[in-house]
Amino acid sequence: MNLETFQLERNQSLFENTVEINLTESGIEPLTLASLLTPDELSALHTVRLGYNYTEGTPDVREAIACWYPGATADNVLVTTGASEANFLVAWTLLGPGRSLAFMLPNFMQIHGLARSFGAEARTFELKRELGWRPDMQAYNAALTADTSLIAICNPNNPTGAILNAADSEALISGARRHNAWLLSDEVYRGSETDGRPETPTMWGHYEKTIITSSTSKSLAHAGLRVGWIVAPADFISEMMRRQDYTTIGTGPLNQSIAATILRPGRRDEVLAAGRAVLGSNLAIIDDWIARWNGKLRYDRPAAGGMVFVAYDFPIGSSELSRILRQEESTFVVAGDWFGLDGHLRIGTGGHAHELKEGLARIDRVLTRL
């Protein structure tokens, strides 16, 4: 297998802990255990047995996850080590020689890289900025072939923060149904809506071959738990369980115990609301910063997610601009070409306001020199 380098994750792994200002994160600033849990909940962790756990996820975690997806039950849920394992298991199952992937761009590029590494054809369709980051449906239909086994979307989208409207969602489902393809919806940013928008509707329940992947990492703020999940038809979940026996053999008991607390509907709503408040405040900082550049920087205010996707008018590629910022200003941002769309930077907005302001000031210095 010729495994492609996953540019986003490889660069973050190399550099995110070596810079003074890291603006590559797209989730919300996590809490400490002392801030997240009550004294009784903290005390209960002392009794957690550190042995092998339910490999498919403890019953309370699976049930709490299922509650977020109307009509789902615990039998529709597999707990994974982050959404990355969830996506890997799906790609491993559905992609290979003689099969093709229809993949939304821009996007988190994991499944695209896995498809090519597994020998499948990867065909893409774009969200168009001139359409308000809506999908180009002509390109979508052209990406579908008789060999399409999987369609992969991200909603809310990473990195644009756009949310599909009902008509576009139905059009995507119609294409999947015509080709009898599985539809994977990465929904890790669901619940991080901005400007008072309602929670993004899940794709679950609208098509019988829908797969949802998500985690506690982004809108739920706690990436360090490494708890993700797949929501899918029960027979597909059974196959994912069989394959997970060859990967992580489940998630740690402490992680799942804490995740069970966060994922209970009432607590989940509290965590999401706190994150949305952070995003709203930080977006005001971004608005002021963009305005100061008088059109040299542009962005569409994200409908959800802990990031902004900023287009720039400077004669430099985004990977090179990211490198200069990191090396000259110890500030790390994500290059747009790591999402398949050069000429942009993704800047995280879910962290502390003072770090965001300082990072933007350092970006200003580099852009001024350019």
Reduced to 3 states (helix: H, G, I; strand: E, B; else coil), residue 32 is coil
Query: What are the sequence ranges of the domains in the chain?
Result: 7-32+274-365, 49-267
CB atoms inside a 10 Å sphere around CB 180: 10
For residue 332, which phi and psi values (nearest 5 degrees)?
Answer: -115, 120
The model's pTM is: 0.96
49-267 maps to which CATH number? 3.40.640.10
- pLDDT for 191 equals 98
CATH class of 7-32+274-365: alpha beta
* Pairing state between β 100-105 and 331-332: unpaired
Half-sphere exposure of 312 (CA within 13 A, CB side): 28
Q: Rounded to an integer, what is the distance from CA 86 to the centroid of its chain?
A: 12
Condensed to tens digits (0 to 9), the pLDDT of residues 3-30 reads 889 999 999 999 999 999 999 999 999 9
**Distance of CA 147 to CAs 122, 123, 138, 179, Å?**
11, 11, 18, 8
For the stretch 337-348, what's the b/e string if a residue is b when 16 or more beta carbons lie within 10 angstroms of its beta carbon?
bbbbbebbbbbb
- Quick one: average pLDDT of 111-125? 97
Q: How many C-beta atoms lie closer than 10 Å to residue 235's C-beta?
A: 8
CA angle centred on 189, ends 183 and 190, rounded to 5°: 75
- Does residue 69 contact residue 231 with C-beta atoms inside 8 Å? yes
Give the pLDDT mean for 350-360.
97
Residue-wise pLDDT tens digits, 152-210: 999 999 999 999 999 999 999 999 999 999 999 999 999 999 999 999 999 999 999 99
**31 burial level (CB within 10 Å; 0-12, 13-18, 19+):** middle
Helices (H), 79-203: 82-94, 110-117, 137-143, 166-178
Cβ atoms of 193 and 274 closer than 8 Å: no
Element (H, E) at 269: helix 265-292
Q: What is the pLDDT of residue 365?
A: 97
pLDDT at 199: 98
Average pLDDT of the segment spanning 113-136: 96
**For residue 66, which amino acid is it?**
A
Q: Give the CA angle between residues 307, 309, 311 to the nearest 5°.
A: 155
Residue-averaged pLDDT of the chain = 97
Contact partners, residue 322, CB within 8 Å, separation at least 6 = 11, 332, 333, 334, 335, 345
CA dihedral 151, 154, 155, 161 (to 10 degrees): -150
Quote the CA–CA distance of 247 and 68 in Å, as a whole number. Answer: 26
Measure the CA–CA gap between 83 and 158, rounded to whole angstroms: 14
Report whether pLDDT(357) > 80. yes
pLDDT at 131 over 90: yes
Provide the pLDDT for residue 2: 84
Nearest CA-CA partner of 333 in 83, 158, 341, 320: 320
pLDDT mean over 235-247: 97
Q: How far is it, in rounded angstroms, from Cα 360 to Cα 365?
A: 9
How far, in Å, CA of 12 to CA of 123, rounded?
A: 26
pLDDT band at 1 (very low <50, low <70, confident <90, very high): confident
Q: What is the dihedral of CA 210, 214, 219, 225, to 10 degrees?
A: 170
Is the model's pLDDT at 94 over the cut of 90? yes
Query: 336 exposed, middle or buried (CB, 10 Å; 0-12, 13-18, 19+)?
Result: buried
Question: For residue 127, what pLDDT band results from cuts at 50, 70 and 90?
Answer: very high
Beta-carbon neighbour count of residue 142 at 10 Å?
12
> What are 259-318's pLDDT values in tens digits?
999 999 999 999 999 999 999 999 999 999 999 999 999 999 999 999 999 999 999 999
